[in-house]
Structure 1
Amino acid sequence: MNSKERCLAAINGTPADRAPVFPLLMFFAQDRLGVTYRQFATDGRVTAEAQLKALEDYGFDAVTACTDAFRLTADLGAEMVYPEDGPPHSAGPLVRTVQDLGALRRPDPGAGRMADRALAVRQMASAVADRCLVLGWIDMPFAEACNVCHLSDFMMMMYDRPAMAHQVLEFLTDIVIDFALSQLAAGAHMLGAGDAAASLISPEFYREFALPYEQRVCQAIRDAGGMTKLHICGNTTSLLADMATCGAELYNLDHMVDFAAARDVYDAAGVCFKGNIDPVTDMLQATPGQCRARCFECLDLARDSRFMLSPGCEVPAATTDEVFTTFCQAPRAFVESR
């Protein structure tokens, strides 16, 4: 059974030799390749090289073309900042008024920073073919609205100008779908879909301002033959049941959420989830033995579930090779220990 087959078995709830290992690597992959973060985030060839090197060195089951959340914002014309050793970000809000929104035009996903991510996907897919699950990356419309308007401004817009908030979300949803489909065309099997800012809002606001747009994106990806991983880091305890209705095939679970409670929600929904190793306590600050023990705990709790082993979010660059190798080998070791 190869890595892609193993991941699909977990998603579909069919037997597999072990649970898949599915880390999110950004700073870790960049660090191990020995390039600056600016190089990693601005050249799709370097993004792909870093991910493929990590795959070769550590042997996990899925690679992800993720570097930062500001591809779409950049292609809409935002003034961008490209730090040498950190993720790109916009210098200020692109949209403050209805007039600002009306001045924007739907960008071509075949140009600019969106095209650079598709290049990374294409190179990764070409290198691994169907041996490994290949993920592109998008951010969901709610997250993109927080990028385009800036986080605090969009949060206030939901209260003060909800009609405009929906106008922004409607405009961005079509662009997010364009971006997703361009990465599927480049060879991605699945889109990682970030919506981290959604962890900051109430279930009521999530159902109004985030979930309907997530559902549209997931449906468009499915209609095009792809899959979606919903990635909302943070404490999503109050959102779990609603999140499970968005239509994604895979759900990321951060370490702040009780594993068993989330497992019960996802089991009832008949969907696959991954998590929820604490990237700091269980990886960065852990010994190999401590990391293995926590991995075994998650694997045992999810023994009857559709499950992939994963950190709750990104693996810190300073995590030792010994600990990360232990994490990657944990599902096989767990099976052998039984």
Structure 2
Amino acid sequence: MTPLEILGAAINGTPAPRIPIFCNLLDQGPKLLGMPARDYFSQGEYVAEAQLKLLERYGHDNVWSLHYVGKEAELLGCNDILFADDGVPNVADFVIKHLDDIAKLEVPADITRHPAWQAVADCMSVLRREVGNTHPICAYITASTTLPSMLMGMDKWMELFLLGPFDLRDELLRKCSDFVQQHIAALRAVGANVLVYSTPFGSPQFVSKKMIESLVLPWMKRDLQGGATDDLVYYCGMSPFNEVIDMVFDELSIKTFYISPLADLPEAKRLIDTRGLTCGVIDDIKMIHWTPEQTREEVKRILDIGKPGGHFLFGTGVVSLAVPEANIRAMLDAAHLYGSLR
């Protein structure tokens, strides 16, 4: 079976030789190709080449079209991204500096015509041609309630989100949600088959469950209105969200959950059961300091919890450049060994 078929089997609960194994290697590309980060991210073909080389090197299941999260801010007018050769690119200049700028913010009528989209389209073209029929191609979508943090900074967004003026907050959320709807459609059109819907505001660790239900959830529903949810993954960064799993099933119909390593994994598996796919995630920050043996033991622990009953995927967060090569290999070797279903 291909990795894409193995993923489908895990979702549907049908026989497969092993569980799916996701390893999210996003920051390793520039070093792998021996080029500065700014040059690497300037061409989508470079990102695709690195993803394919990493896939060949490590033997996991998924590739990524994501360049950096700030790409979404670029599509909404950000003109300055800070590139670092030992870290993650980030927004260097906010689109919204004053509340008056919210009225001036314009969502492009067609984001695929924006110059910043071209690198994404070029990356997806290569990935679709090379592995589109065999492997999960992951794309990243920032939810409307989180996207403003990239446009104005988290501190100012939290103030506006919680304290208002609420008419301006809702105007910004409406524009962001319009963008998210476009973004989802555009990524699907170029070949993404796993859409990671990133919604830290959907975790009770970030805002209260009551606020999620009354304020955040309606905007998530608007983001996703009118579209299928079979290819969506509910992701709150590394924040736990077991308390809202039933709500997400009922209100959003998302069935794949990327569980935080800080969450109670047995509880998450019990809550999701066979209704959807539980993704057990290793703590790749701790992996920086673990030995290969400690890494293997943690993989086994996660799989001992998740594998019984099926409907399970093993995954990572975003693997830091500081994680030793030996630990990445130990993790993936153990995932293949202990994830076997034969």
SS at match of 2:119: helix
Runs of 4 or more consecutive aligned structure 1 residues displaced over 4 Å after TM superposition: 335-338
Amino acid at match of 1:132: H
Deviations 1:125-163 (A, max 9, x none): 111131111122221111112222321112111222233
> In the alignment, which residue of structure 2 is the partner of 1:309?
314
Distance 1:332 1:236, change over 3 A: closer
Q: Does 1:196 align with 2:200?
A: yes
> In the alignment, which residue of structure 1 is the partner of 2:106?
105
> In the alignment, which residue of structure 1 is the partner of 2:282?
277
SS at match of 1:172: helix
Q: Cα distance, 1:93 vs. partner?
A: 4.9
Q: Cα distance, 1:95 vs. partner?
A: 5.8
Distance 1:115 1:95, change over 3 A: farther
> In the alignment, which residue of structure 2 is the partner of 1:89?
91
> In the alignment, which residue of structure 1 is the partner of 2:329?
325
Q: Distance in 2 between matches of 1:213 and 1:198?
A: 11
Q: Cα distance, 1:10 vs. partner?
A: 1.2
Q: Cα distance, 1:279 vs. partner?
A: 0.2
Q: Distance in 2 between matches of 1:279 and 1:230?
A: 19
Question: Which segments of 5 or more consecutive residues in structure 2 lack a partner in the other structure?
Answer: none
Amino acid at match of 1:262: A
Q: Distance in 2 between matches of 1:212 and 1:34?
A: 45
Q: Distance in 1 between matches of 2:119 and 2:227?
A: 20
SS at match of 1:316: coil
> In the alignment, which residue of structure 2 is the partner of 1:170?
174
Q: Does 1:11 align with 2:11?
A: yes
Q: Does 1:216 align with 2:225?
A: no
Amino acid at match of 1:182: A
Q: Distance in 2 between matches of 1:208 and 1:336?
A: 42
Distance 1:267 1:101, change over 3 A: same
Write out aligned runs for 1:280-299 (5 A).
Answer: 280-281=285-286, 283-299=287-303
SS at match of 1:135: strand
Distance 1:336 1:260, change over 3 A: closer
Q: Cα distance, 1:197 vs. partner?
A: 4.9
Q: Distance in 2 between matches of 1:122 and 1:210?
A: 34
Residues 136 and 190 in structure 1, CA contact (< 8 A), matched pair in contact too:
yes
SS at match of 1:27: coil
Residues 142 and 199 in structure 2, CA contact (< 8 A), matched pair in contact too:
yes
SS at match of 1:191: strand
Q: Cα distance, 1:301 vs. partner?
A: 0.7
> In the alignment, which residue of structure 2 is the partner of 1:230?
234
- TM-score of the aligned structures, taking structure 2 as reference length: 0.88
Residues 114 and 179 in structure 1, CA contact (< 8 A), matched pair in contact too:
no
Q: Does 1:257 align with 2:260?
A: no
Amino acid at match of 1:309: F
> In the alignment, which residue of structure 2 is the partner of 1:242?
247
Q: Cα distance, 1:38 vs. partner?
A: 2.4
Question: Which segments of 5 or more consecutive residues in structure 1 lack a partner in the other structure?
Answer: none
Amino acid at match of 2:46: V
Distance 1:191 1:291, change over 3 A: same
SS at match of 2:146: helix
Q: CA RMSD in A?
A: 2.3
Q: Does 1:126 align with 2:129?
A: yes
Distance 1:273 1:184, change over 3 A: same
Q: Does 1:205 align with 2:206?
A: no
> In the alignment, which residue of structure 2 is the partner of 1:157?
160
Distance 1:44 1:335, change over 3 A: closer
> Which protein has the bigger helix share?
1
Distance 1:322 1:241, change over 3 A: same
Amino acid at match of 2:272: Y
1:115 to 115, 118, 126: 118
Residues 78 and 91 in structure 2, CA contact (< 8 A), matched pair in contact too:
no
SS at match of 1:222: coil
Q: Distance in 2 between matches of 1:126 and 1:220?
A: 28
SS at match of 1:274: strand
Deviations 1:215-267 (A, max 9, x none): 333444417xx611222123324444434443334221121111112222222
Q: Cα distance, 1:34 vs. partner?
A: 2.9
SS at match of 1:251: strand
SS at match of 2:196: strand
Deviations 1:106-140 (A, max 9, x none): 21321222332232122111111311111222211
Residues 274 and 308 in structure 1, CA contact (< 8 A), matched pair in contact too:
yes
| More moved, 3-12 vs 206-215 | 206-215
Q: Distance in 1 between matches of 2:340 and 2:233?
A: 29
| More moved, 228-237 vs 292-301 | 228-237
| More moved, 209-218 vs 52-61 | 209-218
SS at match of 2:314: strand
Residues 119 and 186 in structure 1, CA contact (< 8 A), matched pair in contact too:
no
Q: Cα distance, 1:56 vs. partner?
A: 0.9
Amino-acid identity (%):
22
Q: Cα distance, 1:335 vs. partner?
A: 5.0
